[in-house]
């Protein structure tokens, strides 16, 4: 089980941030501690924000996987904020969009019931999947955020997705140069929720 990364200067009651994601958040193919979650921690430290971050992301994870392991994470770590970054693998595997929506909704509801604020990190898929499917997938995140009244990062890869130079050779996973941009996208939504 991963442990909390205590940020320097945190007092006895820092905000606890739980990140539940897939390879985009699990530093797939890039150096350890160079991913957006690690950069987020360093940025919060530089701002003097008292926070601890637990990155519970697993490469290849789906929304179903997230649902199955979230309860244990919530119970053990009792986060104040949960960032959910899942769904892309559902689409890449052609899984039911209704199932993805249901799973994300369950994760959001469980996090809220545990007393956490929720940030949903929206994802999009390449246009070659067809316009209707692409738009429907994008709408899953908007629908869940609106229905459950939680915070939404419209597209985690905003400013990255249209830049081939910001991806690894597989064309799917952002490289190290992309990570600060992704951190910035999260910070726009996260920063107002945290005390300095």
Name the residues annotated as catalytic.
23, 170, 173
Query: For the chain, how big is the Rg over CA atoms in Å?
Result: 16
The helix/strand/coil state of 171 is: coil
* C-alpha separations of 127 from 93, 134, 172, 174, 192 in Å: 15, 6, 13, 17, 33
Tell me if 195 sits within 8 A of 50, measured CB to CB: yes
- Pairwise CA distance, residues 20 & 22, whole Å: 7
* C-alpha separations of 17 from 38, 79, 87, 139 in Å: 12, 6, 20, 25
- Pairwise CA distance, residues 106 & 110, whole Å: 6
Residue that is written with structure tokens 């559902």 in the block: 90
């Amino acid at each position: 089980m991963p442990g909390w990364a205590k940020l320097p200067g945190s007092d006895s009651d820092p905000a606890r941030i739980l990140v539940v994601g897939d390879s985009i958040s699990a530093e797939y193919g890039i150096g350890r501690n160079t991913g957006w979650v690690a950069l987020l921690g360093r940025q919060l430290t530089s701002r003097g924000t008292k926070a601890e971050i637990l990155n519970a992301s697993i490469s290849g994870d789906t929304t179903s996987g997230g649902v199955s392991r979230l309860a244990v994470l919530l119970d053990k770590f009792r986060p104040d904020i949960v960032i959910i970054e899942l769904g892309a693998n559902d689409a890449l595997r052609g899984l039911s969009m209704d199932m993805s929506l249901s799973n994300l909704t369950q994760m959001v509801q469980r996090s809220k019931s545990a007393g956490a604020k929720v940030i949903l990190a929206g994802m999009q898929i390449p246009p070659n999947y067809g316009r209707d499917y692409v738009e429907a997938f994008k709408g899953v995140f908007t629908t869940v955020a609106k229905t459950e009244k939680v915070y939404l990062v419209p597209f985690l890869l905003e400013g990255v997705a249209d830049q081939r130079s910001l991806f690894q050779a597989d064309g799917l996973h952002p490289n190290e140069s992309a990570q600060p941009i992704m951190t910035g996208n999260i910070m726009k939504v996260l920063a107002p929720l945290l005390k300095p």
